[in-house]
Structure 1
Amino acid sequence: MAMKNRSLLLAPLTGFLLIFFVVPMVWFLSFAVRETEVPRALPRSLEVLTNWQIGEAIPPEVYPALAQDMVEAADSGSMADAARRINYELTGARSALSKASRQVRRAAEGTVFDEQFFASVDPILTSPDLFAVMKRAGATISDHYLLASVDLQRKLDGAIAQVPSENRVYLAVLWRTLEISALVMFTCLFLGFPVAVLLTTSSERVADAILILVMLPFWTSLLVRTTAWIVLLQKEGIINSALISLGLISEPLTMIFNRTGVVVAMTHVLLPFMILPLYSTLKGIPKGYMRAASSLGARPVTAFFRVYLPLALPGIAAGCIMVFILSVGYYVTPALVGGPADQMLSAFVANYTTGTGNWGLASALGLILLIVTSVLYLVAQRLSGGRTISLG
């Protein structure tokens, strides 16, 4: 009966998470392998191309089918999306298809839509490459976006190869994202561990005052905090002015619009997420353990590494994975205080969803981030000795 009551109490939260988190996330990630634009806009053309293979003559029936698809797709507004999708793999296809769509709709009654008609519009419209890409993009499931997210592509013959060197972007950006996130994580650990130890060894009054200082960043908008760092770190800012006044430097340091500014601003925002899990774990370690180790002859450093640190590992793992996961998803702070070489993968996801409308590639990049954070969580779980990582 008690178990049934617990299940009823959890039902609202479970339903909320399922409806507003799990379902939207699965729906969004499905765009990484789903093809929707071409099948919706060019169904008749795809039906004609069902048994066609590259290297064979293009079926003449595909041209009138393509013309009819263009008329109906233009009316429904789906032709532009299909042309954009084909253009991802075949440069120039978008303008050619758009031009052909306009001419087909303006053509006089009785016009014959054959190979000659489309060749006169643009030769690309009669090339085997166009129909090969069209057929591949017309499949229900496709690996195009997944391959593109790791700088790979499928050639017209179906073989997988790297994209040209000048177009290889995403693996470098992924590595940069992991590098910045790891740097922020270790900086937060270096600064947060002593604070968490101080919280567990101080009196209740002092600990409360420190906790208030730790929680202060939560009371200020992220945008305000990031903008404040721009004021502080710029060449004419307070920090450079103070260092010059103290005689420590002779000319202003460049601390903004580069990696330094990104790490400083992100560390300021994410430090509480390291301190709180650490404090939660460290306060549960009995103080007598260190005294017992000392009484048995262990030096303070030995006692710390052999007794205290192993017991603190779950808190360290929880704080590190929380900070790392939050860092991986950042894009506002790097966009404001970082330079072009400091933009992270999440900025590309945001641009593809709200800017260019390339939901497939945005979904594939988001899937990569999800896989990376899941793997790192499992690694942190393993490093903590298999104990459950509590993020609270």
Structure 2
Amino acid sequence: MATTVSLTEFAGLTLKQKLARAERINRLKAQGLILPLLVFLFVVFLLPIGILLYKSVENPEVVGSLPRTVEAIAAWDGRGLPEESVYQALAQDLAEARKNQTIGDLSKRLNMELAGYRSLLAKTGRALPFKQEPASYKDALESLDERWGDPAYWQVIRRNDSAFTSYFLLASLDHRIDDLGELASATPDQAIYLDIFVRTFWMGVVITAICLVLAYPLAYLLANLPTRTSNLLMILVLLPFWTSILVRVAAWIVLLQSGGLINSALIAMGVIDQPLQLVFNRTGVYVAMVHIMLPFMILPIFSVMKGISPSYMRAAISLGCHPFASFWRVYFPQTLAGVGAGCLLVFILSIGYYITPALLGSPNDQMISYFVAFYTNTTINWGMATALGGLLLLATMLLYVVYSWLVGASRLRLG
């Protein structure tokens, strides 16, 4: 019966409705084919980015370890010292945190904002719980350590009365929330990250510019040589992809160090008397990074150049245009899609590199990726690591948006 009704309804449909239904079914089938790819992208790309951004604002330590204190301190206006009930709540929370072995994470988090908090909580935690209930928790805690009489330590707890915080993002931008709850600049000894971001982007620009200057004529040569010769030279361009980055970096250390092949050859030829400092500085980083990034600039430009017909140049020259002017007015504009793609690719890869500056650069040549790795592997500070990584990701996305707005995403060609 149901089949009869279905056939009757289908027979009563107009031709336009039948076509629309058939197209909808085909569209659903096509979407079903790409569903595994969408799931894969979500799991390995979007989900990690979401976790990254969440970790940069996550703040569970204070709320989880000091629930009574957070609730009691909410009524404090931030002036002077909090009331007796706040001291009592803190003593109860610290005694429970010591029992649950969470006082370590709490002290680590609070010590990020105010140095000395780790020792204060460790000393106080060892004395809790009190053997007898004190007449005044305020006097009892201040007798354990006089720092409990300093409003600055209570201000830190008050600023972290939420499960989310802007501390790490603000610290990554050399800013902080002061005791009055207002946005302020970070102290000079902590205001380092904006300079590191500027250094990172500047080094990315320099590396991209050098790669472009070297890659454009080489790509032009490869695109205009006979196919056999071009293929042989292309193998040399692709050869670095067949070796590990560590191997390439180690090779540059051997070449550039004071007793390396380059300095030894220059001294032997009498060009210099003393070895040049070519490694463990900005020069060594630029040389190695350009060597690593050059294929990423050559390939997009070469791909675009191979699709340009030589008849355009011949037509311009035959009409009386000078060959040099023909190149800049006819040929070069057609390669801008490849140039833009290569510059975008090289710049984005450069600002995120870690191993090459770490091995070939000095402390003043480290980029933001070094500090992401430092907070991830050394201090285990996920908040700062994810905040710095999130800002780097945001800068990359903004760069792509600006490029798409200026050039147009439809003109972007990677190969």
Partner of 1:338: 361
CA distance in 2, matches of 1:50, 1:16: 44
CA distance in 1, matches of 2:404, 2:99: 54
Q: Which runs of 5+ in 2 are unaligned?
A: 1-24
Asked if the contact 2:60/2:164 (under 8 Å) is kept, the reply is no
CA distance in 2, matches of 1:385, 1:302: 25
Matched, 1:215 2:238: yes
* SS of 2:184 mapped into structure 1: strand
CA distance in 2, matches of 1:17, 1:111: 58
Q: Deviations over 1:153-194 (max 9, x none)?
A: 111011222122233210111111111111111111111111
Partner of 2:371: 348
CA distance in 2, matches of 1:257, 1:241: 18
Residues 307 and 387 (structure 1), Cα distance of their counterparts in 2 relative to 1, 3 Å cut: farther
Q: Which runs of 5+ in 1 are unaligned?
A: none
Shift of 1:351: 0.8
CA RMSD of aligned residues (A): 1.8
Shift of 1:125: 2.2
Q: Counterpart of 1:349 in structure 2: which amino acid?
A: V
Partner of 1:30: 54
Partner of 1:89: 113
CA distance in 2, matches of 1:373, 1:159: 29
CA distance in 2, matches of 1:112, 1:209: 88
Q: After the TM superposition, which of the residue ranges 146-155 and 333-342 deviates more from structure 2?
A: 146-155
Partner of 2:205: 182
Shift of 1:88: 2.0
Shift of 1:386: 5.3
Matched, 1:122 2:145: yes
Q: Please, which of 293, 299, 305 is the counterpart of residue 276 of structure 1?
A: 299
Q: How many aligned residue pairs are there?
A: 391
Shift of 1:56: 5.5
CA distance in 2, matches of 1:33, 1:286: 53
Q: Please, which of 242, 267, 270 is the counterpart of residue 290 of structure 2?
A: 267
Partner of 2:274: 251
Asked if the contact 2:52/2:390 (under 8 Å) is kept, the reply is no
CA distance in 1, matches of 2:195, 2:107: 28
Asked if the contact 2:81/2:150 (under 8 Å) is kept, the reply is no
Partner of 1:299: 322
Sequence identity, in percent?
44
Shift of 1:342: 0.2
CA distance in 2, matches of 1:188, 1:77: 53
Residues 375 and 289 (structure 1), Cα distance of their counterparts in 2 relative to 1, 3 Å cut: same
Q: Please, which of 381, 384, 404 is the counterpart of residue 361 of structure 1?
A: 384
Q: Counterpart of 1:337 in structure 2: which amino acid?
A: L
Work out which of the two has the higher radius of gyration on C-alpha atoms and give 1 or 2: 2
TM-score, length-scaled by structure 1: 0.94
Residues 210 and 137 (structure 1), Cα distance of their counterparts in 2 relative to 1, 3 Å cut: same
Q: After the TM superposition, which of the residue ranges 328-337 and 354-363 deviates more from structure 2?
A: 354-363
* SS of 1:88 mapped into structure 2: helix
Shift of 1:112: 6.1
Matched, 1:69 2:93: yes
Q: Please, which of 235, 241, 258 is the counterpart of residue 264 of structure 2?
A: 241
TM-score, length-scaled by structure 2: 0.89
Q: Counterpart of 2:127 in structure 1: which amino acid?
A: Q
Asked if the contact 1:262/1:334 (under 8 Å) is kept, the reply is yes
Q: Please, which of 166, 170, 177 is the counterpart of residue 193 of structure 2?
A: 170
Shift of 1:234: 0.4
CA distance in 2, matches of 1:4, 1:196: 43
Shift of 1:113: 7.0
CA distance in 2, matches of 1:28, 1:166: 27
* SS of 1:153 mapped into structure 2: strand
Shift of 1:48: 0.9
Shift of 1:57: 4.6
Matches within 5 A, 1:311-330: 311-330=334-353
Asked if the contact 1:93/1:124 (under 8 Å) is kept, the reply is no
Q: After the TM superposition, which of the residue ranges 119-128 and 179-188 deviates more from structure 2?
A: 119-128
